[in-house]
Amino acid sequence: MGECSGIERQLVERAADACRLDEVVAWASVNSGSTNLQGLATMAELLAARLSVLPGTLALRDPEPVSALDASGVDRELVHGKHLHLVVRPGAPQQLLLTGHMDTVYGADHPFQEVREMPDGRVNGPGVADMKGGLAVMIAALQAFEQHPGAASTGYEVVINSDEEVGSGSSAPLIAAAARGKLAALTYEPSALPDGTLAGARPGSGNFSFDIRGRSAHAGRNPEDGRNAVTAAAELALGLEALRRDGLAVNVARLDGGSPNNVVPDRAILRVNLRPRTPALEAAARDGIAAAVRHVAAARDVKINTHGGFGRPPKPLDAAALRLFALVEQAGRDLGQHITHKDSGGVCDGNNIAACGVPVVDTMGVRGGAIHSEEEYLIPQSLGERAGLSALVLARLSDGAL
């Protein structure tokens, strides 16, 4: 180790020892896809048992109501699991936030369910990197930090939500409340690259569904009396795609609708994702969406209902965020870990935390890769590495380094 004190070295070693691969394997063997309520409940029980080594008050929080348009245009409430919320020393002068998620992108019916060791020593399994390995890192770091002298003057909240992979709609209010008044935040998504590189700036993300209602008619006898919702949706898709520019990505993702060939279709649902790099581009995208909807509705004589919005604000790096990144990267150097950061095209709960005015490093989890695929893997030695890194960062935050 580099410029670590004796107390810091002991802290790092305790954190590394507390972070176990067998625990990650056991958690990854429990399917906790975002819609698998039973699996999420099981995962919450396992995590609650692990969090019991920490002081404070632990509670299960009910999800906030969230709805979405189905393929027929009906606004239906979505079901989500409960969220874990730990509050430790809320009266302490310094307050931190740590977040993670228990859900994965692999549903109960997904073929990818098994954990296996690969010939090169990596571990392949659903959620091993994203982010059950990260949860193990976070809890081990906190367990070690509780023995550090600075812990007495530092409080923290932990939020482990059940819906991050589907946008955190039902947990966003909880995260925003937990972020209030915090000095800094750490989130345990896997590193941006297998070498441990952190994700820096992130774009925002908005998911929109457009419910387009036309008028049906006979395709041969009186097509002029109809108003084709599918062609209106296609024109809207092209209009929204035309909003794309440097710093604003637009993905037309899905079109539901249609009718028999002899009927002018009167209903279509268009789904689009937009990712602005800055708040100004988000505002421009909002204006562009509204203008495109007005144009198509008037030109095609159809009604268009817009559902959804920007659930993840852009996360540029301001001065406070850069100071936190510098602290983490210096801690890495002192541990012999070469850590840098680079901008990412992905989004996560770090976006929401940064929007609350709290500096956040959101890739404090394990080194691994191929997330959201059946090739997802964890580099086992990174469990101890990253747990030690987090423990050292927590100690230095408690000592006023930020």
Report the alpha-carbon distance of residue 33 to residue 236 in Å, rounded: 33
Amino acid identity, residue 354? A
Residues 13, 129, single domain; the answer is: yes
> Strand, helix or coil at 19?
coil
Domain end residue (candidates: 312, 338, 372): 312
| Segments forming the whole domain that contains residue 242 | 205-312
Residues 32, 120, single domain; the answer is: yes
Per the CB < 8 A criterion, the answer to whether 202 and 347 are in contact is: yes
Residues 284, 325, single domain; the answer is: no
Q: 239: buried, middle or exposed (CB in 10 Å: 19+, 13-18, 0-12)? A: middle
Residues 30, 120, single domain; the answer is: yes
On whether residue 284 sits in a domain, the answer given is: yes
Residues 177, 220, single domain; the answer is: no
SS (H, E, C) 125-176: CCCHHHHHHHHHHHHHHHHHHCCCHHHHHEEEEEEEECCHHHCCCCCHHHHH
Residues 56, 177, single domain; the answer is: yes
Domain end residue (candidates: 312, 333, 365): 312
Neighbours of 72 (CB within 10 A): 11
Residues 337, 305, single domain; the answer is: no
Six token digits for residue 339: 């850590």
Per residue of the chain (402 residues), give pLDDT as tens: 568 999 999 999 999 999 999 999 999 999 999 999 999 999 999 999 999 999 999 999 999 999 999 988 899 999 999 999 999 999 999 999 999 999 999 999 999 999 999 999 999 999 999 999 999 999 999 999 999 999 999 999 999 999 999 999 999 999 999 999 999 999 999 999 999 999 999 999 999 999 999 999 999 999 999 999 999 999 999 999 999 999 999 999 999 999 999 999 999 999 999 999 999 999 999 999 999 999 999 999 999 999 999 999 999 999 999 999 999 999 999 999 999 999 999 999 999 999 999 999 999 999 999 999 999 999 999 999 999 999 999 999 999 988
Report the alpha-carbon distance of residue 117 to residue 130 in Å, rounded: 17
Amino acid identity, residue 98? L
Domain end residue (candidates: 312, 336, 365): 312
Residues 170, 251, single domain; the answer is: no
Q: Report the CATH number that the domain containing residue 69 is assigned in CATH.
A: 3.40.630.10
Among 158, 157, 126, which residue's Cα sits nearest to residue 47? 158
> Strand, helix or coil at 211?
strand
Report the alpha-carbon distance of residue 168 to residue 84 in Å, rounded: 13
Average per-residue pLDDT for the chain:
97
Residues 69, 132, single domain; the answer is: yes
Residues 296, 367, single domain; the answer is: no
On whether residue 1 sits in a domain, the answer given is: no
Q: 328: buried, middle or exposed (CB in 10 Å: 19+, 13-18, 0-12)? A: buried
On whether residue 377 sits in a domain, the answer given is: yes
Six token digits for residue 344: 């990412």
DSSP assignment string, 28-44: HTS--BTT-HHHHHHHH
Amino acid identity, residue 293? V
Neighbours of 110 (CB within 10 A): 14
Residues 229, 274, single domain; the answer is: yes
Amino acid identity, residue 52? S
Six token digits for residue 159: 């939020």
Q: Number of structural domains, the chain?
A: 2
| pLDDT tens column, 60-94 | 999 999 999 998 889 999 999 999 999 999 999 99
Residues 224, 252, single domain; the answer is: yes
CA dihedral angle for residue 370, residue 371, residue 376, residue 378, rounded to 10 degrees:
100
Neighbours of 61 (CB within 10 A): 18
Six token digits for residue 176: 């925003």
What pTM did the predictor assign?
A: 0.95
On whether residue 191 sits in a domain, the answer given is: yes
Q: Report the CATH number that the domain containing residue 245 is assigned in CATH.
A: 3.30.70.360
